[in-house]
Structure 1
Amino acid sequence: MTNRGDLLPPSTDDLAAMATAIIDSFPPSFQALIRTIPVRVQEWPEEAQLAELGLDDPLDLTGLYAGVPLGHGDGSRLPRSEPDMIYLFRQPILFEWCQRGSAISDVVFDVLTHEIGHHFGMDEAAARRLEEGDPEG
């Protein structure tokens, strides 16, 4: 008999656990570079996040890196008011999962590595190549 829990989509806690497991799978030297960036899983992007990116449809935003990319600081020694953060948005991720028909862990991996690419200063095209497994382009 099928367990009812097997039929439910992953919760925000489930997606957060997947993100942690993905980060834990990276080589230790790489983990050290990203371990300080919190990953927050929310149901939906906020209106302000969508507006900042010029997006109307919240399903278009599966993840977001909010912060100052490495090497792009303003030179100030003052602490930033907001810490760097990677956001994963559950509902858009679930939508993409249904569209792609691949494992949910593959979708989370792709979104997370894309946002990590932005942390390292990659533009959208370079982050997309990283997500697709072709960082050299």
Structure 2
Amino acid sequence: MTTPDNPAADWTGLAAPGLDDLERMARGAVADLPQPWREAATHVALRVVDFPPDDVLEAMDIADPYELTGLYEGTPLPEKSVMDQPMGPDVIWLFRRPILDEWIDRGDVALADLVGHVMVHELAHHFGWSDDEIAAIDRWWE
């Protein structure tokens, strides 16, 4: 902690936010959504891992794993049909290390706000939100 006598921060015993920390932040962003989105968003599975899997990077033609902070895996609600065979749950993936890297590079935003922004972006894929709908929920989108 900084004091007037010691302006340098004491980082002893501190560690980078872990997977559980980012998951809590993402779930907090869902809890802050307006209804009816809040309840519906709880039905999307959430996975937080350090990096995107290699096969995902290959499929998306991404060479640098730090370029992908999140991913929606599933069929967007507007495209679903009662005739569809269940394919498993829709999943939002958050990638901790790329999110932390972007947070450090920005240096001007709280980590929970960045995680919330990524989460809302991925939920937009799930719900099929327009840019205007996203902007109504996530002020960063404006």
Q: TM-score range by the shorter chain?
A: 0.7 to 0.9
- The 1:76/1:33 distance shift into structure 2, 3 A limit, reads same
- 1:105 pairs, out of 106, 112, 131, with 112
Name the structure 1 match of 2:4.
Answer: none
- 1:48 pairs, out of 37, 55, 60, with 55
- Structure 1 stretches of 5 or more lacking a match? none
Give TM-score scaled by structure 2 length. Answer: 0.80
- Structure 2 stretches of 5 or more lacking a match? 2-9
Aligned residues: 129
RMSD over aligned Cα atoms: 2.2
Q: CA separation in 2, counterparts of 1:108 and 1:4?
A: 25
Q: Which has the larger radius of gyration?
A: 2
Name the structure 2 match of 1:65.
Answer: 72
1:32 positional shift: 1.6
The 3-state SS of whatever aligns with 1:93 is helix
- Displaced runs of 4+ in structure 1, greater than 2 A? 1-5, 73-77, 129-134
Q: CA separation in 2, counterparts of 1:77 and 1:97?
A: 39
Name the structure 1 match of 2:96.
Answer: 90
Q: CA separation in 2, counterparts of 1:113 and 1:68?
A: 16
Give TM-score scaled by structure 1 length. Answer: 0.82
- 1:34 pairs, out of 41, 52, 56, with 41
- The 1:3/1:95 distance shift into structure 2, 3 A limit, reads closer
Q: CA separation in 2, counterparts of 1:74 and 1:26?
A: 25
1:91 positional shift: 0.5
1:23-71 CA distance string (max 9 Å, x none): 1122242212211001110010001111221111100000000000011
Opposite residue 89 of structure 2, the aligned amino acid is: P
Identity of aligned residues (%): 37
Name the structure 1 match of 2:5.
Answer: none
Q: CA separation in 1, counterparts of 2:52 and 2:83?
A: 29
Q: CA separation in 2, counterparts of 1:24 and 1:120?
A: 16
Name the structure 2 match of 1:133.
Answer: 141
The 3-state SS of whatever aligns with 2:100 is helix
The 3-state SS of whatever aligns with 2:85 is coil
1:76 positional shift: 3.0
